[in-house]
Amino acid sequence: MHERKEHININLVADLCLVHFMAYGGYSYLDEKYSPARNDIIMLIWARGRERIEKIAEAIAAESSIGTWTKLKTLNKEVWKLRARVFRIDKIAENAGFIYIAYPLEHFEIENVLQLSASVFGNLFGLKELYEMRILDITFPRRFQSKFEGPLHGMEGLRKYVGTLKSRRPHVGTIVKPKVGLNPKQFAKVAYESYMGGIDFVKDDENLVDQKFCRFKQRVNEMLKIIDRVEKRTGRKVLYSPNITARLCDMMDRIDYLHDHGWVMAMIDVYIIGFGALQDVIDELKRRKMFIHAHRAGYGALERGNYGISFGIFEKFYRLFGVDELHVGTGVGKMEGSPVHVRFLRDIIYEQKIKGMYYMGKLDYEWNKKIKTVFPVASGGLNAGLCDGVAAVHGRDVIMQAGGGVHGHPGGTRAGAKSMLQAAEAISKGIPLPKYAKTHKELKAALKRWGYLDPSKVRSQMKFTHRNKESLNRLVEKTGIKGINIINFGF
């Protein structure tokens, strides 16, 4: 009996909290007749809560623009022009739906993405009326994009450096494994074997920076020695991305060290760093004309589930800021993401236009022509046997990056590197991997060890999604975020 009384009291408190929410600030932000202006920023949100979806939408629009919980004596006509407008709601239940909001560009300090983030992402997730909310997509008009330079080098710059502009084969990369624990000389020895097997690109893992067992400067020094040796012996240009992620002052010091020693690339954990420091670091790396490898460690905290911000939104910021290559997923490896969802993430940083190909939850988008293409990185549980599947998702413009798939090869690191290069060569020649493996022993050993993914299965799944887009839209219209999660992540 005591438990029942406590339960009733909790509900009573919740009902009292709703009293001022019922008319959020006394103003309406619904405007179904509004047609977004050319310079509006558009945001698409999924929401479900304990109020009618119209009221939830108004609360989101108010909190993310000019509103507060009550009427204001200070609100005038000029201020009202800066409001967010809910111009469309796709309702799937009385308390749930997809909300389309337009924000006038004048609301924002355009080059200050922290202010924009505080506005459109800020207080929203704290609204107690919400059971679920995912910010699914955002569009930036050309006037907004014009304030950013995008990548200095981009995909074509990386291809030019490595020497694959003509062949257009996929690049192959590796992460030195184990993730942490090797000392600088051991680390460089593993990298040397990788390069000599044909790897284009070696990177630190996201959790290796400047630990006592492998100091950053010592590791860089050892790597520069072996890179010089590799390039002299092979005549190839190779890349290494040391992880500089730390406090801003430490990152700047590490950039200085790399530049002073003539090195051309750095890696940053873009999501972990956060927008403010990230822009400063990217600007400094671009000023030094360095290549920027962007790792997305931590993104899954917001990408998966019923609350959060879709990773595609972060990708748009990273491309505007100017990273040169970015992890977007594999579609076939150990990390989340269906092939068609990973293809969408790839398209954001690769294509100039994103229009009409995808199911509900995604907005059409177009980049300014000056914003260069970012090189997509497919990484996470890869081995040579999965590379045809990776190409089915990404095409040939991809960095196929394998850690365990190189260093776990039966023949060791050099053989694992050769197997990845052989897979890339087969893809560029249009030869299926099992056929190519008949005359390439390292690839053959990799397929025997880990098996082979028939890319027709991947293509079939992607074609099914595109062919049945309308049916999938109906599924999403009925089930909301659950349907999107099923399509994107399989749960």
> Looking at domain 154-459, which of 3.30.559.10, 3.40.50.300, 3.20.20.110, 1.10.3720.10 is its CATH number?
3.20.20.110
Q: Where are the domains of the chain?
A: 25-145, 154-459
| Separation between Cα atoms, residue 204 and residue 401, nearest integer Å | 12
Domains 25-145 and 154-459 share a fold: no
pLDDT band at 190 (very low <50, low <70, confident <90, very high): very high
The answer to whether the bond into 178 is cis (omega within 30° of 0) is yes
Is the model's pTM score more than 0.75?
Answer: yes
Best CA proximity match to 108, nearest among 56, 149, 64: 64
25-145 CATH: 3.30.70.150
Q: How far is CA 102 from CA 48, 87, 258, in A?
A: 20, 7, 43
- Condensed to tens digits (0 to 9), the pLDDT of residues 322-378 reads 999 999 999 998 877 889 999 999 999 999 998 866 667 889 999 999 999 999 999
Tell me what pLDDT residue 290 has: 98
For residue 479, the number of C-alpha atoms closer than 13 Å in the C-beta half-sphere is 15
224-245 pLDDT per residue, tens: 999 999 999 999 999 999 999 9
For the beta sheet containing 130-139, the strands, ordered from the edge strand earlier in sequence to the opposite edge, are 85-93, 96-103, 41-49, 130-139, 307-309
pLDDT at 16: 34
User: Average pLDDT of 388-414?
Assistant: 97
d(CA 61, CA 53): 12
State the catalytic residues.
Answer: 177, 295
pLDDT at 3: 38
Which pLDDT does position 398 carry in this prediction?
98
Q: Residue type at 348?
A: I
Helix axes 248-260, 216-234, angle to 10 degrees: 30
Q: What share of the chain is helix, strand, coil (3-state, %, to 5)?
A: 45, 15, 35
pLDDT tens for 462-477 read: 898 888 888 988 888 8
Residue 8 has pLDDT above 50, yes or no: no
Rounded CA gap, 389 and 382, in Å? 10
> What pLDDT score does 357 carry?
60
CA distance 152 to 227: 23
Q: How confident is the model at residue 168 (pLDDT cuts 50, 70, 90)?
A: very high
Check residue 490 and give its pLDDT. Answer: 78
Q: What secondary structure letter does DSSP report for 339?
A: H
Q: Could you give phi then psi for residue 328, rounded to 5 degrees?
A: -130, -5
